[in-house]
Structure 1
């Protein structure tokens, strides 16, 4: 190829990277400058294979969100979420002249929920029995194990209004309230300083009961706290409130259990396993908090050198389409992006997918397009450099694959679910598009 033709190819490639899928015809602008025998070809017949995988653990600590409740899905199984957090020590000076009125837990919804919130939501409040500082891990996960004191210190049943922004206040048991208040009256060592206090009150757990919904609370010092109400009688009755704010750290996390035994994913038991989309109604799933992700393999790449040379590849694009049922279940409020990871033959995420600079993380972007009388949705990502790097040595690894998950915040602090069309789903078809230059 001479120098002039090389320059023209570079121009065409830049046009290609700038174009969206609706502007593919723009790629042919370059044909005015080169030999009429040259042009851009779209190869969209290379096969891809989608499957469901389960990652062993998801970090859920220090997210600023406390999840509680339970929800059952026929597709991905029953989810139960418990919130764990620690409290700081109040700063008020309580004397032996003070009289306890009550102790409460205050919470405020963060507007996230999954399930039917028109029904009563119930959960119990327990003291944490496990010393989090004594565990080997300093970051906590959906699978982190812990124990609670058997006797609950509070029981909650209420109709949640996740979008209201209202503060809820739940009264704790008289036994717990009196015990804690007496420590201050006695000037006990347990409430002498912050370290001693968390050694005594190791944490609080919102433990879910049987429910039809999971809701989120704001887990910050302003919106999640314990309040101690008390009074003192002098010339008149004086009322006081002592506040114990949440300790904002990795010691705030969500424990999320998933029972898939009666769901489409019932055979998904270990991280090494994967279940092809053909076994799950031509659908694959992404789910926050539980570790359910989608694996994308590219068996069609094994034949790419029969079609083009490596230096003819201009752009490689992967497109995934959410199902209509999933779009409606999410009230048309789909995640704006999805995360992409490189992986290995044990389905572990080995790192974020990055661009040609080796630093910039690449993500799927949500695209909305007019379609008949309603909008259609799909996710797209440019994986050109990733594909070229894989093919550089002239050998295709059959284990070559990507993992797709919800983005960081959705993955760590929600149990959102997204269903994607599988291999042979004719309505919501995944696509692998390879744009090449020919001459």
Structure 2
């Protein structure tokens, strides 16, 4: 029998004010209920089954950033992100033709400018490498989108290699000088009107792939896709009677594409970790078989699945009842996060079917429901995620047939970050996942 923390006879008006309305799923209050004695119970001995699975793919062509870098993670192995994108000419401010150069000009230099968007994950104090490769095929997806598992063929020999120390908050961008002969050839084709539109540009330059250094162990950085921040810039001089004037022509990632024009390939090598067994979306790894942990990592596709096997034992309580709130509490593993590998402040909550496919978002009257982190700003407080699951619990208790559904938790910005969370579960000696239900019984 469940442990009872609180039993009170109260008025329904007082009770409604004491519960977070955002987590009340279906509080059916009628005259009979209002006239009854109500016993309020707080129950927290339900079993919570936590496991990890991996989504087969995540859409990264809808991401707002280019992700690039590599680092070693003791839980997730070698985490790597590379970027792929095509370029088109930017629209000049004066409204002139996009592929247009004035007469009597000369080529000076060419550079790829990558504007920081201030996102990073892991150690930015380590040196990193960017390898710039020309694509050998156009940026066209096989279906409608590109995913974290997608790739395109590129020249094995990089057109440029740039070693640098990431400074996402101290500098605006990374400047990569490209070979003069490459820039001269591109410049001449535009000058001689052999490149007049985007299709003709693709015939010469299908795009770039940015690859991290093979031995890098630093950070994954975010670079903006905005045309004002990231661009291929051609520097040229216009002849003048007294002093030549320097001008530029920019090629950018199309800001208004009809089809995907950029994506990130985000992968990890898990050969020496518990996660190596997760080879498809329906395979699960129980927390008890993985150091009593649930594993979440955005970008690579790892997510935590939560089930409540003993939930319907609540019907062993005498009387008619209703769920007022249900909170799932999960604690991140101590020392698994810091300033360079921070926790996200919230978790997305969705419903899975028996094949681990998302079938429903969880919403209340205020919109989407999220799990929120607490205790981060409080001295000596435990840092935990509190996940309001009352709507889901209420639905499970009211279902006529036992539906094979569960909850899935993953971080926000799941398709454009690599943030992780290690959640204590199973029989972890420090903290186990807990479901606490506030339950009202009436008409006993």
Q: TM-score, normalised by structure 2?
A: 0.85
Q: 1:233 to 1:313 in 2, by over 3 A?
A: closer
Equivalent position of 1:30 in the other structure? none
Q: In terms of mean alpha carbon deviation, does 194-203 or 167-176 score higher?
A: 194-203
Q: In 2 relative to 1, CA 395–301 (structure 1 residues): closer, same or farther, beyond 3 Å?
A: farther
Quote the residue 2:28 is aligned against. Answer: none
Q: Determine the structure 1 residue equivalent to 2:409.
A: 404
Distance 1:412 1:10, change over 3 A: same
Q: Distance in 1 between matches of 2:274 and 2:139?
A: 35
Closer/same/farther in 2, CA of residues 98 and 315 from structure 1, 3 Å limit? same
Partner of 1:147: 153
C-alpha distance in structure 2 between counterparts of 1:269 and 1:158, whole Å: 35
Paired position in structure 2 for 1:353: 362
The alignment yields a C-alpha RMSD, in angstroms, of: 2.7
Aligned counterparts of 1:127 and 1:66: Cα–Cα separation in 2: 16
SS at match of 1:257: strand
Check the 8 A contact 1:81/1:208 in 2, yes or no: yes
| Greater fraction helix | 1
CA drift of 1:38 comes to 4.6
Alignment partner, residue 142 of structure 2: 136
Q: SS where residue 373 of structure 2 aligns? A: strand
1:341 aligns with 2:341: no
| Aligned mates of 1:320, 1:308 — CA distance in 2 | 30
Asked whether 1:365 is paired with 2:369, we answer no
- Per-residue CA deviations over 1:378-404 (Å, capped at 9, x if unaligned) read 22222222112122245544x431010
Superposed counterparts of 1:383-402, under 5 Å? 383-397=389-403, 399-402=404-407
2:77 counterpart residue number: 77
Find the aligned partners of 2:318 and 2:399 in 1 and give their Cα distance: 15
Aligned to 1:107: 114
Aligned twin of 1:319: 329
Given that residues 66 and 219 in structure 1 are in contact (C-alpha distance below 8 angstroms), is that contact kept between their aligned partners in structure 2?
yes
Checking the alignment, whether the CA contact within 8 Å between 1:106 and 1:169 is kept in structure 2 is: yes
Structure 1 unaligned residues grouped into runs of 5+: 1-5, 21-32
Unaligned runs of 5+ in 2: 1-8, 24-33, 91-97
Task: Determine the structure 1 residue equivalent to 2:175.
Answer: 169
Q: CA deviation at 1:224?
A: 0.2
Distance 2:22 2:143 in 1: 46
Cα separation, 2, equivalents of 1:377 and 1:353: 24
In the TM superposition, residue 186 of structure 1 has moved relative to its aligned partner by 2.2
Q: Which residue of 2 aligns with 1:16?
A: 19
- TM-score by length of structure 1 reads 0.86
In the TM superposition, what is the alpha-carbon distance from 1:376 to its structure 2 partner? 2.2
1:204 positional shift: 1.7
Number of residue pairs matched?
412
